[in-house]
Structure 1
Amino acid sequence: MAKKTVDEMSFLDHLEDLRWHLIRATLGVVVAATLAFIFKKFIFDVIIFGPTVMTFPTYQWLCQASEFLGMTDTTFCAEKLPFIIQNRTVAGQFSAHIWTSIYAGFIISFPYVLYQLWSFISPGLKPNERKNSRGFLVVASLLFFIGVLFGYYIITPLSLNFLANYQISEQIQNEFDVSSVIAIVRSSAIASGFVFELPIIIYFLTKVGLVTPKILKQYRKFALVIVLIVSAIITPPDIASQVIVAIPILILYQISIYISAIVVKNQSRKSSRANKN
């Protein structure tokens, strides 16, 4: 039996098609999560707990930078971070293993998940729209992975270093629960991955007419305030850390303005050509 075209498909047919795309995307995550589960030692000892030791590359760079600038703060040059990681529940380590594998599976399989969603959406686009969006999967996946790396190598070590060295009393020793440490690494990486999708989001919002370059420029000051607030929430409360996080987000916002302007310009050309014909 021949496959129905998009115009011939009913609402229930579309739901059925979406269901199968979601099933395939879920299977992709499960396969990647299974691999992450198997390579437990690498996932935890190298990746998750990497930012908890002072040999982590970010601490080395920040130590060299602080020494070059003659800063007296030696927190980035210490031998080790002043905390230990503990498990306080019976099933804590097993639960951490399962959930970390699932999140790792999602990150690894993100391009495939995106491909499944795109395969569902793209048949409803016009041929020229599909042609113009040809590099969508590559660009969106690349931005996501860059964001994940930024969250992992910048936000995570800055947060851990600050929180580990923060004290309200010398009588209190830091004994962090394993789930708390994993949550910082996970949330920093995944949240940054989605934040770096901003240019893609702006591209599609501009295509459907919800956003224009004029609006983005008009609200640039408000965007700056929001970015600084977000930076203050997800990083330690010191100016240097907030600036380090805020700069790439502001650059992404500026790139989004240029992308929006290009989309509007192309749409204007097409409408003028259509009017001439």
Structure 2
Amino acid sequence: MISKNTLYKFLLLAIVLLMVTQSKSYATGGFPVRPGRLTLSPSVNYFFANKQWDSNSNKGPFPDNGKFSSLSTSLYAEYGLSRRFTLSALLPYASNTYKDNNATYKDSGFGDAEVGIRYYLANINYKYYFSLQATAIIPMYTNLSLGYNQKGGELRLAFAGSGHLFGKNSYFILENGVREYFGYESVFQDRYNATYGLTLDKKFREQISVSFGGFYASSNNKAFSPNPVTNKNFAFNQVSLSYGHSFSKKVALFVSGGTFITGRNTSAGSSVSASLNYHIDTK
């Protein structure tokens, strides 16, 4: 039978993974969405880890040759309400597996649904844009292996712009969001991400981008435990590389790979993902 410590470690990894998949920037990021345009973005992500960082950021293997993997999917939707406002929604689903020399533990289900509204504060010469997004977080589960099972809210500020580098069209997106999960021993999170991309051809069909991002989470409960019910303090940073191909003005495919580079109380893993963006103009 799987030990309690192994089970608790699996629960922590599952929650961190859901946070990683939900932190992804979809569609246009900090750029305006045309009024009446609906963007649908289904995605799939595979995450694997066999090492961890402890509370002192020391890296080492899981006990008993433990390995964690997850296959997760999500559906993101964004709609342009006006030139200033957009509405977004996210629904994730994950299937997680932790395996060591003693046992195998599996779990799956929906995660935290998100519904948000974004307001474009200002622009500079229609090349650089500032936006603020408010998001409501709604748990779609009761199993604590899939999240905190607490409602929450987030405020996210983004700065995005476009330009040229080495004769290529380029863009950047800088984002920082503060998130609070409400309830007993509530959790505060700071989520940040920086992306820089280049278009590779004159028809804007091929692009590559690099990203750096991470999480910092804290709670009134400062004690360390692998159980996410009592341990709500962790941090990590990750880097990723993405490639995008536009089949038409309405359809684009993105593939990416990333890895954690630093961490505290979390796993040391890598991921690969793919997402499809589809635009529908309703006006």
Q: TM-score range by the shorter chain?
A: under 0.3
Q: Which has the higher strand share?
A: 2
What TM-score do you get using the length of structure 1 for normalisation? 0.22
Look at both structures and tell me which one has the larger radius of gyration over its CA atoms.
Answer: 1
More helix by share: 1
